[in-house]
Structure 1
Amino acid sequence: MAMGNEDRDPALKSLETRLNQARQKRLWNDGDDDAPSPMGRAFAMGIHLVVGVVVGLMVGINLDEWLGTSPVLLILFLLLGFGAGIRNVIRDAMRMQNEAMSAEEKVEPAKGADKD
């Protein structure tokens, strides 16, 4: 026997209504609540730099031991790792700048509408 919506308990109807509202709010959320904090972004940028250097260092050491070309590949991969880390930091900074500019553009039209 199928149970229709009219046969449901009022508490269940209330719960279902609140769940649907929460789902809709989540679907239409502009993502500001999920944005990382400035401290988190700075930490991630530092991690990107350190990880690039460490990976380059490890690759260089292992290749030097394997090929017997001590310090040549170590220096080469250390510089490559540093460059990769700097590239990641610059990319993160540019992404943050673009997000700030797009957020500013969203605010500007609203300010201009008040002048009319």
Structure 2
Amino acid sequence: MDTDLPSDLARLRVLETWAAHYLTRIRARIAAVERQQAQQQPPAPTAAPPVRSAAGPGRARTPDWGLAEAGIGVPATEVHRGGCWARGRSLVAVSAERARAELAGGAQPCAVCRPDRVLTRP
């Protein structure tokens, strides 16, 4: 067992939340540096202009609900609200009905945005 981590669940959950938040900040900084570097380099020639999304120039629509599949840092499939900062990069947009079904089927609700509180209301 790792000796540099606390042994109680409450402090481990705090560390998990902090790490997820910090990872979001790191990814945002990486994206900013990549944008800055892309502006400094001349664009590569393309055959056709890029297709823009209907949500606005350069922005994808934020889904209302999503699933973060199990993987590194996510031990089980989690259901998130679309705007949750802890959702990670690989959020798969789903309908409210599918999100309810996933929760009923054993998927974990996000401990940050708590979609189960909204989705289980009558």
Higher normalized helix content (fraction of residues): 1
TM-score, with length taken from structure 2 = 0.29
TM-score of the two chains, using structure 1 as the length reference: 0.31
Greater percentage in strand? 2
Larger Rg: 1
